[in-house]
C-alpha cells in the first residue's frame, strides 16, 4: 500500500512565477540516458527546464528557458533512446480574420543540452478553414526512434504523420476514425508496433498496426467514453498496451486492454491526464498511477501489473497542485512524482526505503 506525506519542504531558492511565466502545461518528468531527471513546464513563449545535477540526487539546476515563441498545446514525449520531443501548434493570423495553423516539433538529444530549432510538420489540410480546426498534437516514439504525431481534426477525424526507419517524414494520412472528440492517445510496443486509442462521443476506438511501419487498421471499439486528454498508455506485457483513462460516465479511473472488458479502478480523478508507470515494489511487478483528484490534490494508485481486478490501493498525498502530476523512475530506479504547487512551482516527492511505495516529503525544485 502506498504511503505519502503531505508536507512541503521549504525551497532552497526561487520565487513564485510571474504573469509571463505562469504555467500553461506540465510538469513533464523525463529520465535521461545518464539517469538524471528533467522537469519541463510550459509557459507563455517558453519551456522552463529543471535538470538534476546528479543521477538520483536532490539538487537541480534551473529553471532554464527554451524558446517556444507562439507555441500552444505543448506535448512532451520520449522513447527508449531518451531523446525528448516537443510537439505543439503555432498559429499565425492571415487576412480576412483567418489563421494559418502549423503542427510544430523540436528535439532535445541529451540531458541538459540545447534543443533544436522548431520545425514545421505542416498541416493535414490545405484548405485554410479546415486547417484552422486541427487540435492539440500527441505523439509517441517507436522502439527504433521513429516519431509518430497524431492530431484531432475538426470533422471528428484523426490525422497522423510519422518518420520512417531512416528518419524521413512521410506525408500526413487520415486514420479510419469518426466522431473523435479530442486527445488521440498513441502508444508503441517494444516490438515497434504503434497503436492509437481514439476517444469518441460514444466509445473508445482502437486502431493498430499489424506490421511495423504499415497503415493503421481498426480494432475493437470499447463501450467506455474517455474524458478527453485523460488517456495514459502503458506497456504492461511484451507487445500489450493497457490504457488508463477517466470514464466520462462514471467519473472513476478505468483500465482498458483491447479485446478485454474495461476494468473500473475507482479513484476520484479530476478532468486532467493520468500518469502511469511500471515498477517493482517488494519484488512484485506493479503499476503506479498518479492523478489530480477532484479535491485538487495529488492522488496515487498502486496495483499488481495487469492485476487490476484484485484491487487498486489509492492514497491521497494531500499535496495541492495545479495541472496534472507526472511519474518517472530516477537513476537509482526509485519512483519520483512531480507536480506544480498552488503557486505554479514544480515540486517532487521520491520513493524512500520501506515496504510498498513510501514517499518523501515534497520539495520544490
Say what the pLDDT of residue 15 is.
Answer: 45
Domains of the chain from N-terminus onward: 1-22+226-365 (2.120.10.30), 70-223 (2.120.10.10)
Q: Is the peptide bond prior to 92 cis by the omega test (within 30 degrees of 0)?
A: no
Q: How far is CA 50 from CA 64, 227, 275, 329, in A?
A: 7, 30, 19, 16
* Pairwise CA distance, residues 292 & 296, whole Å: 6
Burial of 365 (0-12, 13-18, 19+ CB in 10 A): buried
Say what the pLDDT of residue 8 is.
Answer: 55
Secondary element (H or E) of residue 158 = strand 158-162
Which residues does the chain have with pLDDT short of 70? 1-21
Q: How far is CA 242 from CA 138, 197, 256, 258, 277, in A?
A: 17, 10, 6, 8, 11
Say what the pLDDT of residue 7 is.
Answer: 52
* Pairwise CA distance, residues 34 & 16, whole Å: 30
For 29-41, the pLDDT digits (tens) are 999 999 999 999 9
Q: What are phi and psi of 64, to 5 degrees?
A: -100, 150
Q: Which residues pair with 226 in a beta bridge?
A: 247
* Pairwise CA distance, residues 116 & 67, whole Å: 10
Site of grid cell 502549423:
102
Say what the pLDDT of residue 354 is.
Answer: 86
Site of grid cell 486547417:
131
Say what the pLDDT of residue 14 is.
Answer: 46
Say what the pLDDT of residue 2 is.
Answer: 53
Contact 99, 132 (CB under 8 A): yes
Q: How many residues does the chain have?
A: 365
Sheet with 147-152, strands from edge to edge, namely 138-141, 147-152, 158-162, 173-174
Instruction: Pick the closest to residue 229 from 273, 267, 187 (CA basis).
Output: 273
pLDDT averaged over the chain?
A: 91
Q: Which residues pair with 51 in a beta bridge?
A: 38, 61
Mind giving me the DSSP string for 76-115? Answer: EEE-TT--EEEEEEEEEE-GGG-EEEEEEEEEE-STTSPB
Amino acid at each position: 500500500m502506498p504511503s505519502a506525506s503531505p508536507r512541503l519542504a521549504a525551497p532552497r531558492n526561487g520565487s513564485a512565477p510571474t504573469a509571463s511565466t505562469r504555467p500553461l502545461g506540465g510538469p513533464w518528468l523525463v529520465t535521461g540516458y545518464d539517469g538524471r531527471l528533467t522537469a519541463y513546464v510550459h509557459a507563455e513563449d517558453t519551456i522552463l527546464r529543471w535538470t538534476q545535477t546528479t543521477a538520483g540526487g536532490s539538487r537541480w539546476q534551473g529553471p532554464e528557458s527554451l524558446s517556444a515563441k507562439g507555441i500552444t498545446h505543448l506535448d512532451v514525449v520520449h522513447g527508449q533512446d531518451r531523446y525528448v520531443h516537443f510537439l505543439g501548434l503555432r498559429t499565425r493570423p492571415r487576412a480576412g480574420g483567418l489563421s494559418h495553423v502549423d503542427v510544430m516539433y523540436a528535439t532535445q538529444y541529451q540531458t541538459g543540452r540545447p534543443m533544436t530549432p522548431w520545425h514545421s510538420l505542416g498541416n493535414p489540410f490545405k484548405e485554410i478553414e479546415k486547417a484552422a480546426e486541427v487540435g492539440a498534437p500527441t505523439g509517441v516514439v517507436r522502439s527504433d526512434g521513429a516519431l509518430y504525431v497524431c492530431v484531432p481534426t475538426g470533422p471528428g477525424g484523426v490525422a497522423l504523420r510519422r518518420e520512417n526507419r531512416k528518419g524521413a517524414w512521410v506525408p500526413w494520412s487520415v486514420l479510419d476514425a469518426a466522431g473523435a472528440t479530442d486527445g488521440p492517445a498513441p502508444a508503441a510496443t517494444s516490438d515497434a508496433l504503434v497503436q492509437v486509442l481514439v476517444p469518441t462521443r460514444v466509445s473508445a476506438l482502437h486502431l493498430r498496426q499489424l506490421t511495423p511501419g504499415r497503415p493503421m487498421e481498426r480494432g475493437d471499439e470499447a463501450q467506455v467514453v474517455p474524458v478527453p486528454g485523460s488517456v495514459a498508455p502503458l506497456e504492461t506485457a511484451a507487445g500489450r498496451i493497457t490504457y488508463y483513462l477517466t470514464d466520462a460516465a462514471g467519473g472513476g479511473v478505468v483500465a482498458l486492454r483491447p479485446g478485454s472488458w474495461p476494468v473500473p479502478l475507482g479513484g476520484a480523478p479530476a478532468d486532467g491526464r493520468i500518469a502511469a508507470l511500471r515498477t517493482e515494489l517488494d519484488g512484485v511487478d506493479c503499476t503506479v498511477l498518479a492523478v489530480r483528484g477532484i479535491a485538487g490534490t495529488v492522488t496515487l494508485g498502486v496495483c499488481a501489473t495487469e492485476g487490476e481486478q484484485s484491487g487498486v490501493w489509492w492514497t491521497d498525498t494531500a499535496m495541492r497542485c495545479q495541472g496534472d502530476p507526472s511519474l518517472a523512475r530516477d537513476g537509482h530506479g526509485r519512483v519520483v512524482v512531480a507536480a506544480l504547487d498552488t503557486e505554479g512551482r514544480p515540486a517532487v516527492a521520491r520513493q524512500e526505503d520501506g515496504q510498498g511505495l513510501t514517499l518523501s516529503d515534497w520539495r520544490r525544485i
